[in-house]
Amino acid sequence: MNTIDKLNRVLQFVKDSFVGKNDIVDLLGISLIARENAFLLGPPGTAKSAIIRQLSDCIEGGRNFEYLLTRFTEPNEIFGPFDIRKLKEGELITNTEGMMPEASMVFLDEIFNANSAILNSLLMALNERLFRRGKETRKLPALMFVGASNVLPEDEALNALLDRFLIRIRCDYVDTDLLEEVLLAGWNMERQSAEKPVITPQEIIELQQRSRQVDLSPIRKQFVDVVHNLRNTGIKVSDRRAVKIQNLLAASALMCNRTEAIKSDLWVLKYIWDTEEQIEILAGIIDAIIEKDTTAQQVHPQARYNKTPNAEELIKEVQLLASRWHSGNLSFEEQNVIKDKLRYVQTRCNWIKKNEHKEHIRAEIEQLWKKMLEVV
- 3-state SS of 148-191 is EECCCCCCHHHHHHHHCCCEEEECCCCCHHHHHHHHHHHHHHHC
Cα(334)–Cα(342) distance, integer angstroms: 13
Cα(194)–Cα(131) distance, integer angstroms: 38
Cα(310)–Cα(318) distance, integer angstroms: 13
Neighbouring-strand partners of residue 185: none
Give the three-class secondary structure for 324.
helix
Per-residue pLDDT, 144: 94
Per-residue pLDDT, 59: 93
Cα(345)–Cα(367) distance, integer angstroms: 14
The DSSP letter of residue 82 is: B
Per-residue pLDDT, 263: 93
Cα(374)–Cα(376) distance, integer angstroms: 5
Give the three-class secondary structure for 195.
coil
Per-residue pLDDT, 200: 94
Per-residue pLDDT, 341: 78
DSSP string of 2-17, one letter each residue = -HHHHHHHHHHHHHHH
Per-residue pLDDT, 10: 95
Cα(138)–Cα(132) distance, integer angstroms: 6
Q: What are the Cα distances from residue 205, in Å, to 34, 104, 143, 199, 200?
A: 10, 11, 8, 11, 9
Nearest to 63 by CA among 102, 113, 5, 21: 102
Per-residue pLDDT, 306: 60
360 with 351: CB under 8 angstroms? no
Cα(178)–Cα(146) distance, integer angstroms: 26
Per-residue pLDDT, 103: 93
Per-residue pLDDT, 258: 93
Cα(341)–Cα(355) distance, integer angstroms: 22
Per-residue pLDDT, 26: 95
Give the three-class secondary structure for 53.
helix
Per-residue pLDDT, 212: 95
Q: How many CB atoms lie within 10 A of CB 328?
A: 6
199 with 59: CB under 8 angstroms? yes
Per-residue pLDDT, 185: 67
Per-residue pLDDT, 221: 95
Beta-sheet strands, E only, within the chain: 38-41, 64-68, 105-109, 130-133, 136-139, 144-149, 167-170
Kindly report the pTM of this predicted structure: 0.80
Per-residue pLDDT, 224: 96
Cα(175)–Cα(80) distance, integer angstroms: 41
Tell me the mean pLDDT per 10 residues along the chain, length 376. 91 89 94 96 89 92 91 90 69 82 94 88 90 84 94 85 94 71 66 78 96 96 94 90 96 94 94 89 86 75 71 85 85 81 77 80 90 74
271 with 167: CB under 8 angstroms? yes
Per-residue pLDDT, 113: 92
Per-residue pLDDT, 77: 92
Pairing of strands 130-133, 105-109: unpaired
DSSP string of 97-130, one letter each residue = TTSGGG-SEEEEETGGG--HHHHHHHHHHHHHSE
